[in-house]
Structure formats: structure tokens, C-alpha cells
């Protein structure tokens, strides 16, 4: 409304030196007065800034907290390594170690375990590397096919055809005391290393 903000902003800066937010604000006239009025304005600006900053800690914390929660991956046992049949690829259920009381069905998860021999495995995520639809394993043609956009993968997870930019995501696995375990918890995505 007024044509004056550029002139006033210098006055504001001197009155509330630490508050960059006061730049060009309306009502900055109050700060111009100096003395008690200037002090009150500066105090008000400072208190609101500090208060807002403190309130922002839990607000921003909860909003972005899930991304800052650390590595959600844990070792998950999928049974005995010797229970998998050599040469077969099977769908295996597991419970996500990262859970909350309201997760319901979403807490259950699945992956494909390909047993090459009892010391060599491949574990694939069911999500297509294109856009995350669930791929289906066809043991007869030894292919994974995606029902959404037609991505196809070979039995070793390599991309065979269609729009996926890479092969299937793989879980890291290990055999501990005969127990076959995968490192799971995070939904695999393009920016994962595996």
C-alpha cells in the first residue's frame, strides 16, 4: 500500500538487528519510534521468532521425522537355508521389522528367494524397478512379469524387456547357523545400491 518500505527497512534493521524477518514488514513504523516503542517492537519480533523456532522443532520434526529415523533395515530370518529347494524360486512371506500398531496387513511383506545351491541365493523384491507394481514369477518360462507396464526380468533378476531401467532389486542375505536371513525393512527403490 505504501511506497515507503525501502526507506523504512534501514530503520528496522538498526532497531532489531538480529531479525531479518522484519525486513520490509508492515507496521515497521512502530520500530522507527525508538525508545520504548522500538524496544517493544524488537522484543516482540525476537520473542515471536524464538517462539516460532521452538514450535517448529516438534512440527518439522514430526513432519520429516520418518526420513531421519535411521536405518530401518534388520536381519530377518526366512527359515532354514536347507529348506529351499535347489533350482527353485519361491515367494516367501516375512514381517517388516519396522512396524507400528496400526500397520495391519501392510506389515506383512514378501520377497522372491532363488536358491541356486544351499550356499548361494538371490533374494528379489517383488516391486518392479520401473514403478513399483508387484512382479509375478513364472517358473515355466523362468521369467518375472509385471502386470502394469509389461516389464520382464530373467530368473537372475536381470532386466529382460520393457520399461524398467534396471534389474529387480535384491536384498542382502546371509546364512547364520543354518538360518537364511535377509536384510529388510526399507521399501527398495531406484536409489538403493542393490
Q: How far is the CB of 186 from other proteins (least distance, A)?
A: 4
Q: What is the per-residue DSSP string for 86-143?
A: TT-EEEEEEE-SS--TT-GGGGEEEEEEEEEETTEEEEEESB-TTT-PBPEEETTTTE
Residue whose entry in the numeric block shows the C-alpha cell 512371506 = 93
- How large is the greatest C-alpha to C-alpha distance in the chain, in angstroms? 86
87 touches other proteins by CB under 8 A: no
116 touches other proteins by CB under 8 A: no
53 touches other proteins by CB under 8 A: no
Task: Using the minimum distance from each CB to other proteins, give the nearer residue, 160 or 175.
Answer: 160
89 touches other proteins by CB under 8 A: no
85 touches other proteins by CB under 8 A: no
88 touches other proteins by CB under 8 A: no
Looking at the DSSP assignment, which residues form a beta bridge with residue 137? 144
Task: Using the minimum distance from each CB to other proteins, give the nearer residue, 47 or 64.
Answer: 64
Site string for other proteins, 1-40 (x = CB under 8 A): ----------------------------------------
Give Cα 174 to chain centroid, integer Å: 25
Q: How far is the CB of 25 from other proteins (least distance, A)?
A: 22
108 touches other proteins by CB under 8 A: yes
Amino acid at each position: 500500500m505504501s511506497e515507503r518500505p525501502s526507506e523504512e527497512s534501514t530503520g528496522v534493521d538498526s532497531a532489531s538487528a538480529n531479525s531479518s524477518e522484519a525486513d520490509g514488514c508492515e507496521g515497521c513504523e512502530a520500530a522507527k519510534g525508538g525508545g520504548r516503542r522500538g524496544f517493544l517492537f524488537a522484543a516482540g519480533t525476537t520473542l515471536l521468532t524464538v517462539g516460532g523456532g521452538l514450535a517448529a522443532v516438534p512440527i518439522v520434526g514430526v513432519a520429516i521425522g520418518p526420513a531421519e529415523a535411521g536405518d530401518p533395515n534388520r536381519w530377518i530370518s526366512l527359515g532354514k537355508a536347507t529348506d529351499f529347494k535347489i533350482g527353485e524360486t519361491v515367494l516367501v512371506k516375512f514381517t517388516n521389522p519396522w512396524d507400528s500398531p496400526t500397520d495391519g496387513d501392510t506389515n506383512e511383506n514378501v520377497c522372491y528367494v532363488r536358491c541356486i545351491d544351499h550356499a548361494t541365493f538371490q533374494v528379489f523384491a517383488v516391486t518392479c524397478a520401473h514403478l513399483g507394481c508387484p512382479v509375478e514369477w513364472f517358473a515355466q518360462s523362468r521369467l518375472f512379469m509385471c502386470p502394469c507396464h509389461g516389464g520382464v526380468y530373467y530368473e537372475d533378476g536381470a532386466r529382460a524387456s520393457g520399461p524398467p531401467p534396471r534389474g529387480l532389486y535384491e536384498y542382502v542375505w546371509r546364512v547364520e547357523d543354518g538360518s537364511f536371513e535377509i536384510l529388510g525393512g526399507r521399501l527398495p527403490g531406484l536409489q538403493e545400491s542393490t
